[in-house]
Amino acid sequence: MVEVLQSYIDGKWVDAIDGARFDVRNPATGEVIATAPACSAADADVAIAAARRTFDDGLWYPGTSERERGRILLRAAEIVMRENEHLARLESRDNGKPIKEAREDIREVSFMLEYYGGWATKLAGEVQMLGTGAMHMVVREPVGVVAAIPPWNYPMMMATQKVAPAIAAGCTIVLKPASYTPFTAIELAKILEEAGLPAGVLNVLTGAGSVAGARLVQSPLVDKVSLTGSTAVGTWIMRESADTMKRVSLELGGKSPNIFYADADFTAAVEGSCNGIFWNQGEICSAGSRVLVERSIYDEALQAMVDHAAAIRLGDPLEETTGMGPIVSPEQKAVIDRYLEVGRGEATVAVEGKVPTDPALAGGSWVPPTIFTDVTNDMTIAREEIFGPVMAVIPFDTPEEAIAIANDSDYGLAAAIWTRDIAKAVNTARALRAGIIWINDSQPAPTEMPWGGYKRSGIGRELGRHGMDDFLEDKAIYVNLGG
């Protein structure tokens, strides 16, 4: 059955003003599973006006207390846990990720709502006496209307990590999910509505980023844009936001190094290195796509990673035994395929896995896990973000060389280090120009820890207490006490 989705504006479920719709497809089969409103700039203006009016009328902030904002998020967390399996299956069907990964995502969504529900009552300011004649206060206030633009690789989780702190801070929001994956953003609105969120606080627009999303960025009535996406889109948003001096936070691309020292726990490092690039089909901004291996163990480590990749089972994302699902869309598959062709001309294919043979999955966007060897850091496959299950393996001889290779990148989102030597681990971590460093692990992103990168990987931080800061303004108030 093809579902008919609607956008959510000012507490009402609506179609696009002109009635236009677009198809949402199952990436595993290519079949149409839903249609959604193809919202235009005019629809965006209606959603922006609702968010602006709701913020400016003061009924949400300061009219709703910090305690009530927190309770709404806590109630939403409980609803997400109640609906975990339903939401995970929607996410898997919409995005293509294996169901076991989708369940983990939805559990973290629930915790994010709970975590930021707690922060709502803890946004304390400062008071300082200036002798006996004056005092000053610093109060923390919401930034205003937020345009939240999450990606398609973690649809509900990344929508929530923008929406939850914005609600806790007292902002109003227009959420524009990726057109490939609108299902769970719509479900998030339903959940928050059930939890008691007033009309107009959260608005959800479906449609193309180049249309509805662009209007959010360009509107003078929007105070802040929060994007998770490509560096190219982030650069455009910075330019477009300049005219209205919007605040922006941008979590962008990566070409993350995974440094595999010879003294590492070999089995753990092999598994972690493979998970770092093959988890979620490699559609991860922080994916460990450059695996740097100490030369003395290079051949052994390469063979172990090849064996691991060859054993990954691609299949129906809703099957419990599936190890990797399809790429989100034919368009993204085409991008990856072009990089694979470039890679075959630059380096050597060490392994290329098998795609499903099930006729029911013939229309899916399948890319097998692929490992390239004989890679140098100046190659295209080592420098450009592929956003797919493609590993480039590079040898090194010394920690200094590994650090130099790792830092020789336009990006600086994340890095992983595998070693039993704690001093080497910490010294390497301190030397790397990246915002997130994992030691003897790869890809954990706990809600309590800040997330963001250096260089062309973005501006600002999400998650943790730092995830509140970009949704708040600091106001200084000076009080003359008669001095």
Q: Which residues are marked as active site?
A: 251, 285
Instruction: Check if the beta carbon of residue 205 is closer than 8 Å to that of residue 44.
Output: yes
Name 142's bridge partners: 472
- Residue 435 host element (H or E): none
Strand-pairing partners, residue 32, are: 25
250/450 Cα distance (integer angstroms): 13
Residues 65 and 473: their CA atoms lie apart, in Å, by 18
DSSP string, 288-330: --EEEEEGGGHHHHHHHHHHHHHTPPB--TTSTT-SB---S-H
- Residue 299's contacts (CB-CB under 8 Å, 6 or more residues apart) are none
Task: Give the angle 475-479-483 at the CA atoms, nearest 5°.
Answer: 150
To the nearest 10 degrees (0 to 180), the angle between helices 84-95 and 155-169 is 120
Closest Cα partner for 255 from 457, 451, 436? Answer: 457
Contacts (Cβ under 8 Å, ≥6 apart) of 406? 257, 259, 290, 292, 415, 432, 434
Rounded-to-integer distance, Cα 483 and Cα 480, Å = 7
Q: Which is it for the CA torsion 277, 280, 284, 286, positive or negative?
A: negative
- What's the CA gap between 259 and 261, in Å, rounded? 6
Instruction: Let me know: does 168 contact 117? Beta carbons within 8 Å.
Output: yes
Residue 263 token pair = 């003294």
The values of phi and psi at residue 401, to 5°, are -70, -40
Comparing CA positions, the residue from 342, 347, 272 lying closest to residue 304 is 272
DSSP for residue 250: E
Tokens of 224: 């802040």
CB 74 within 8 A of CB 196: no
Helix (H, G, I), strand (E, B) or coil at 98: coil
